[in-house]
């Protein structure tokens, strides 16, 4: 596996960045056994919108299935909408557009959408999120309600924290190792700094034959990826809380000057973009917060 020198991948997408690992992961989630001779082709989207990568993992299985897998450490009920945008881009990438204008129907790989969650908040072993649950109520604009939604997309979310979905974890040594690795870091963080917790977890996993080859070969890359990834997630959490507080305050306080408020919000957004750039470059979160403490 080639490593992006700027650590723009996530540890999860880096770990599952080859067809054999994806074959094992998909087989574990679906409870099947994909033979080694069934081709798995990676077509993950790349873009400048988020750390040079829009979605975590996208691949086709025998050109009959197209699977999008996202790894989430926070609960996000907008995943059906996000994955709708992703799958449209993926189809654009893998389909010959000229064939869209022929009279014969063009068969396309059937999509499948999976989210693997390992955040700290409580979450069930499995939940199905539907795009139709995000639709606004338009019942009074129709003579009769349709029997089926004109557009639907179902995302299956699986909790991969330690002790959850044991059957899936048991079928994939790599996924089980990843779950154990993240669990060790979180346990270590109770008594250590984040950096020390990560370094200790890497050593402990190697000593206990958990992702041993991967961590021995890529320990530095994994440390930098994960530190940057978690710092950005922490910053996003702070911004979400700030946005909620600002929204509540705006609801309470009336008569604000609209132009002044718009300028203040715009300044915060620009500041946040600068903070993201610094975090992506590997600058420690503590240093960034000191520099932008007034934002």
Q: What is the pLDDT of residue 170?
A: 95
Residue 47 — very low, low, confident or very high, per pLDDT cuts 50/70/90?
A: low
In a domain, 3, yes or no: no
In a domain, 172, yes or no: yes
Q: pTM for the complete prediction?
A: 0.76
- Boundaries of domain holding 71: 11-134+150-233
In a domain, 44, yes or no: yes
User: Which phi and psi (to 5°) does residue 103 adopt?
Assistant: -75, -30
Residue 31 — very low, low, confident or very high, per pLDDT cuts 50/70/90?
A: very high
In a domain, 20, yes or no: yes
**5, pLDDT greater than 50:** no
**Rounded distance, CA 123 to CA 273, Å?**
30
Pick from 102-111, 185-194, 265-274: least confident: 265-274
In a domain, 22, yes or no: yes
**Rounded distance, CA 115 to CA 76, Å?**
10
Residue of higher predicted confidence among 196 and 249: 196
In a domain, 187, yes or no: yes
**288, pLDDT greater than 70:** no
Residue in the structure block whose two tokens are 């992006």: 4
Express each pLDDT in 212-270 by its tens digit: 999 999 999 899 888 877 666 665 555 555 555 555 555 555 445 454 554 554 455 45
Q: Using alpha carbons, list the distances in angstroms from residue 237 to 117, 159, 189, 231, 243.
A: 16, 20, 18, 10, 10
CA-nearest of 84, 68, 165 to 130 is: 84
Q: What is the pLDDT of residue 2?
A: 39
Partner residues linked to 3 by β-bridges: none
Q: What is the pLDDT of residue 279?
A: 66
Domains of the chain: total = 1
Judging by beta carbons within 10 Å of its beta carbon (0-12, 13-18, 19+), is residue 240 exposed, middle or buried?
A: exposed
Express each pLDDT in 91-110 by its tens digit: 999 998 888 899 999 999 99
Residue of higher predicted confidence among 74 and 202: 202
In a domain, 4, yes or no: no
Q: Using alpha carbons, list the distances in angstroms from residue 43 to 19, 24, 86, 154, 238.
A: 11, 17, 11, 20, 33
In a domain, 293, yes or no: no
In sign, the C-alpha dihedral spanning 23, 24, 27, 28 is negative
Q: Using alpha carbons, list the distances in angstroms from residue 108 to 40, 54, 72, 77.
A: 16, 22, 28, 27
């Amino acid at each position: 596996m080639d490593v992006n020198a700027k650590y723009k991948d996530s540890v999860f997408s880096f770990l599952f960045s080859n067809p054999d690992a994806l074959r094992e992961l998909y087989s574990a989630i679906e409870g099947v056994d994909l033979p080694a001779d069934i081709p798995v082709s990676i077509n993950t989207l790349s873009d400048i919108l988020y750390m040079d990568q829009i979605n975590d993992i996208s691949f086709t299985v025998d050109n009959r299935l197209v699977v999008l897998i996202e790894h989430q450490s926070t609960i996000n009920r907008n995943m059906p909408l996000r994955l709708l945008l992703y799958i449209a881009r993926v189809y654009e990438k893998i389909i010959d557009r000229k064939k869209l204008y022929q009279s014969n129907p063009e068969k396309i790989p059937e999509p499948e959408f999976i989210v693997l969650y390992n955040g700290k908040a409580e979450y069930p072993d499995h939940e199905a999120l539907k795009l139709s649950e995000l639709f606004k109520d338009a019942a009074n604009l129709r003579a009769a309600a349709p029997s089926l939604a004109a557009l639907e997309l179902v995302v299956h979310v699986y909790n991969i924290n330690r002790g959850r979905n044991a059957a899936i974890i048991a079928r994939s040594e790599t996924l089980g190792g990843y779950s154990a690795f993240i669990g060790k870091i979180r346990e270590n963080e109770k008594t250590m700094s984040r950096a020390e917790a990560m370094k200790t977890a890497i050593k402990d996993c190697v000593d206990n034959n958990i992702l041993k080859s991967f961590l021995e070969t890529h320990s530095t890359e994994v440390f930098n990826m994960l530190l940057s990834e978690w710092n950005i997630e922490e910053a996003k959490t702070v911004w979400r809380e700030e946005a909620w507080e600002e929204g509540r305050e705006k609801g309470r306080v009336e008569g604000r000057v609209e132009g002044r408020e718009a300028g203040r919000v715009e300044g915060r957004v620009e500041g946040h973009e600068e903070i993201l750039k610094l975090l992506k470059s590997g600058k420690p979160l503590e240093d960034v917060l000191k520099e932008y403490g007034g934002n």
